[in-house]
Amino acid sequence: MNPQHDATVQSLQTQIADYYARKVPFRVYHGSTNSTRVLTFKRSEMVDISTLNNVLSIDTAKRTVVVEPNVPMDKLVNATLKYGLVPPVVPEFPGITIGGAIQGAAAETSSHTYGCVSQTVNWIDYILGDGSLVRTSPEEHADLFYGSAGSYGSLGLITATEVNLVPATKYVKVTHYQISSFSEGVELMKKYANQGSDFVEWYMFSKTRGAVVIGTMTNEVAGRLLRFSRPHDNWYFLYVKSIAAKGKPVTDSMPLKDYLFRFNRGAFWAAEIGFKDYGLPFNRLVRFLFDPLLRTRKLYQVLQESAASQSYICQDIMLPEQGMVPFLDYMDKEFNMYPLGGCPIKPEPRSPLQCNGMDTDLVFNLGVYGLRVEPYEKFVAANRQIEAKTNELGGKKWFYSHNYYSADEFWKVYDKPWYDALRTKYKAVTLPDIFTRTRVTEQYKVSKRRGVLRTVFGIAKLRITD
């Protein structure tokens, strides 16, 4: 494929074959994460793929790009935009990698058309648990191609993939439709998803105030031309919130990249919490001064170092249409936590571990972030309540977050005989399974001061022990 790529893959194959012979359960380390669980790696039980971070080739006639797994979204988009092309599904945090996106079920506001990132690729190369290398696609090893999506690295190691591309435009025009109930939001999202709108998402700021936001790729500016990526710009979430109060549809435009990474500053509304915790005024000047710390790559470092994810609810749920309003009513009554947000997603029943692995027409994602629940026992109980309600309504969770299911509860949702057979067939039985990888078993000491200081001084990094 490329001499440097081939050499790196061969050396990883040797390392993995050795782990297999010694029955060592290894994990993938790539230097960063957009998962919220506090991660700890053992040097003697990990495979470091940090250097697999190259865009290998772009075929403008076929509209495809071949990439290594540790290529982050901003690097991928910058590479393809040079040719006037862009991936159809670009998860909105620029540090999300293509390998993590396939394994972690990443999706975006174009996913009602294209599905998750894994549904936009033509093939994926995997090193299996025994060190052998296979190409998977809808034609070759299709069971692994589909089954490994959303499997969190528990079925093999991605070494390269070919991603489809679509023509890029200069701008995205966004129209905000104000809504005053959950059911109105679901209906409107369904309507625009079925019409084939480019981007569909929604927000609720209370039970009776929200917006459905429809994006259109265009080369013309409509309304104001807004930016959200520079330190002095507004945060996208604050802009949406201000429009939701207007009482009539509002249309504005922004450059394509500003739209794709619109939540990079502030991580949706998550970073606002930090201002309250530190008693800082939440105004434009302070956001400008602290801007380098308020971008998602840095915020994730703070999160990992501080273990703050063990006191704030952060879950993403995927529900069939009929489950949405009951779930939202339940969340309103039990937790009253706002804002909420999400988007509709095309399902993929052939990928049952992926959060949209459901046999229905359209699924709806809902992000519930930000409520502080302490002490830890109450926090775990709240997460378990949300998990139970999700199951009751036929939904699935996005596994980047905390998972508190018991093994019995977990395997009632996911098909263990199917999963075990796939792991046996593809020699993955020595790898930690998906339940073990995503379940939180350890309580960490939450220290926001440690998280902020280590990030400010540039010494924050994922925990690796010997």
Choosing from 58, 71, 106, 254, the residue that interacts with ligand FAD (CB under 6 A) is: 106
By CB under 6 A, residue 437 contacts ligand FAD: yes
C-alpha span between 210 and 47 (Å, rounded): 44
Stretch that binds ligand FAD, among 22-30, 221-229, 372-380, 451-459 (CB under 6 A): 22-30
Indicate which single residue of 91, 94, 129, 215 sits in contact with ligand FAD (rule: CB under 6 A): 91
Residue type, 140: E
Tell me which residue has tokens 């263990």.
Answer: 416
**Is residue 108 at the binding interface for ligand FAD, with CB under 6 A as the rule?**
yes
Residue 342: CB minimum distance to ligand FAD, A:
8
Interface characters, 237-266, with ligand FAD (x: CB under 6 A): ------------------------------
Residue 344 is a binding residue for ligand FAD (CB under 6 A): no
Return the SS3 of 252.
Answer: strand
Q: Specify the residue, 162 or 316, whose C-beta has the smaller distance to ligand FAD.
A: 316
Strand partners, 464: 41
DSSP symbol at 38: P
Give the three-class secondary structure for 136. Answer: strand
User: Nearest CA to 33 among 117, 99, 87, 78?
Assistant: 99
Question: In the bound complex, what is the minimum distance in angstroms from residue 83's beta carbon to ligand FAD?
Answer: 24
**Residue with tokens 């039980």, as numbered in its chain:** 45
Q: Per CB under 6 A, does 400 bind ligand FAD? A: yes
User: Is the backbone peptide bond immediately before 91 cis, with ω within 30 degrees of 0?
Assistant: no
- For residue 382 the two structure tokens come to 């709240």
Choice from 53, 80, 103, 306 touching ligand FAD (CB under 6 A): 103
Q: In degrees rounded to 5, what are phi and psi of residue 295?
A: -100, 150
Q: Does 397 bind ligand FAD (CB under 6 A)?
A: no
Check residue 294 for interaction with ligand FAD (CB under 6 A).
no
Helices (H) and strands (E) in the chain, counts: 17, 20
Give yes or no for residue 199 binding ligand FAD (CB under 6 A).
no
**Least Å from the CB of residue 221 to ligand FAD:** 26
CB contact at 8 A, 318 and 358: yes
If you count them, how many residues does the chain have?
466
Report the interface residues with ligand FAD, using CB under 6 A: 27-28, 30, 33-36, 49, 69, 91-92, 96-97, 99-101, 103-104, 106-108, 152-153, 157-158, 267-268, 270, 314, 316, 367, 369, 400, 437
